[in-house]
Chain A
Amino acid sequence: MARVGVITFPGSLDDRDAARAVRIAGGEPVALWHADTSLRGVDAVVLPGGFSYGDYLRAGAIARFAPLMEELIPAARAGLPVLGICNGFQVLAEAHLLPGALMPNAEGHFVCRDQRLRIENARTAWTSEYAQGQEIVVPLKNMDGRFTASAETVAELESSGRVVARYMDVNPNGSLNDIAGVTNEAGNVVGLMPHPEHAVESLTGPTTDGLGFFTSIVKGLINA
């Protein structure tokens, strides 16, 4: 069974929901602690949402130097599938595993809504169960969700198909080009500002559209 680690940092909030999503997708969630020095042999890792270290300095800036990140960064560069959701995306950007940065929302306040997205790249390790161009609705909740990068970086992301998901209807935080998620060149590291792990059960989510991120990795690992 695919073993998917979920890292808990001080201030993580969505680690339990991420673990539940892994389980519902048919994988085995493995709890990882930020101060650990071993990834415990997991097949993939999720960095969950929350406010690690109170978002002091910049969102994700201090968590990026957690002891476990010393293990994760080289492993991700070597191909380990890694998904960063919300705060996890911020941590991956601060670690320069993903391009750009996540800055305070352009409107200056917290945004919480059910957000329509379009999957722009269904070839990553975390999106292969979606159809290219598929539209999904998952919760979005963030203070620092404004994707920012240099004009050259944005152009390169667009031309190389590294925008994974894009906001539809409204741009909730001022992200450049409505970018909600991006991937690295290899497609194993994905960052996403909205929360697919909150949309895996009809009882608690607006849809079950988010499950695809987790079934993608679980099925991909089994077939690998």
Chain B
Amino acid sequence: MARVVVEVMLKPEILDPQGQAIARKLPQMGFEGVTAVRQGKRFEIELAGPADEAAVERIRELAGTLLANPVIEDFEVRVD
């Protein structure tokens, strides 16, 4: 059994109000020196078989259609 991880982040030019809200809270909590926070998503996909090139390619297709919306998001796929 293998695990493939897909990480999805908003494209750099897309406004991230959630990340901004987190960043605004930090000084009040005593965290100094943070200039920005961006929030993303991590998917852990458990495979019944090996994470060979064909399986990873299928997950790349899945990431580009369902897990991420390429209009607003970038994604990375890696075998864990």
- Chain A positions near chain B (C-beta within 8 angstroms): 57-58, 61-62, 65, 93-94, 96, 99-101, 103-108, 146, 148-151, 174
Contacts and interface: CB of A to CB of B under 8 A. Distances in A.
B34 interface: no
A33 to B, nearest CB: 21
Contacts of B26: none
B66 to A, nearest CB: 7
B9 to A, nearest CB: 13
Given A103-B14, A108-B17, A57 B71 contact: no
Interface of chain A: mostly helix, strand, loop or mixed = loop
Contacts of A107: 17
Contacts of A65: 66
Interface string B45-68: 000000000000000000000110
A37 to B, nearest CB: 20
A174 B14 CA distance: 12
A94 B69 contact: yes
- How many B residues touch the partner, as a band? 10 to 19
Nearest to A62: B66
Nearest to B72: A101
Nearest to B43: A57
A58 B17 contact: no
A142 to B, nearest CB: 14
A106 B66 contact: no
25 contacts: A57-B66, A57-B67, A58-B69, A61-B66, A61-B69, A62-B66, A93-B71, A94-B69, A99-B71, A100-B71, A101-B71, A101-B72, A103-B15, A103-B72, A104-B18, A105-B17, A108-B17, A108-B18, A148-B15, A148-B72, A149-B71, A150-B13, A151-B13, A174-B15, A174-B17
